[in-house]
Amino acid sequence: MLEWDYKDIIPIDLSSDCLFCRIVRREIPAQIVHEDEQALVFKDVAPQAPTHVLVVPKKHLGSLAASTDEDLALLGHLQRLACRIAEGASLSSFRLVTNNGRGAGQSVAHLHYHLLAGRPMAWPPG
Ligand code: AMP
């Protein structure tokens, strides 16, 4: 049985200095590849694969675990958007991953999906 480490849950950060909220507000520059009403997609500043973009909701959610059933449509939108970005870039294989909690490697406390492609991917991830 899986045990959840509650210390891993990053609380919703409503402060105005959230890095990705600041990118959404254009206070910090980013290489934006897509924008719509609900989401922003931009290149990761430290790419781990030839294609590495971040699919980010404009709504501030500290992590996936901070989402609620009210966010079901938003979460679906983010995943379908990742598929459309991959299709648009003719990526037949890609990895879509979110790190939830510091123990899983989350370093920015605003929900984001990494869309990675363009090189062989190992499993399990490190
Ligand atoms: P995670 O460690 O899963 O929370 O992912 C955070 C990602 O954000 C990392 O891959 C970072 O390289 C990326 N990142 C941090 N700052 C920026 C920035 N200013 N612009 C684009 N990507 C960033």
Positions marked active-site: 112
Q: Give the pTM.
A: 0.90
Nearest CA among 40, 55, 38 for reference residue 97: 55
Task: Check if 46 has its Cβ closer than 6 Å to any atom of ligand 1.
Answer: yes
Distance 1 CA to ligand 1 centre (A): 31
Domain residue ranges of the chain, discontinuous segments joined by +: 48-126
Q: Please write the tens of the pLDDT for every residue from 25-81.
A: 999 999 999 999 999 999 999 999 999 999 999 999 999 999 999 999 999 999 999
* Three-state SS letters, 23-68: HHCCCCCCCEEEECCCEEEEECCCCCCCEEEEEEECCCCCCHHHCC
Fold of 48-126: HIT family, subunit A (3.30.428)
Distance 17 CA to ligand 1 centre (A): 15
Whole-Å CA distances, 11 to 14, 16, 111: 9, 14, 11
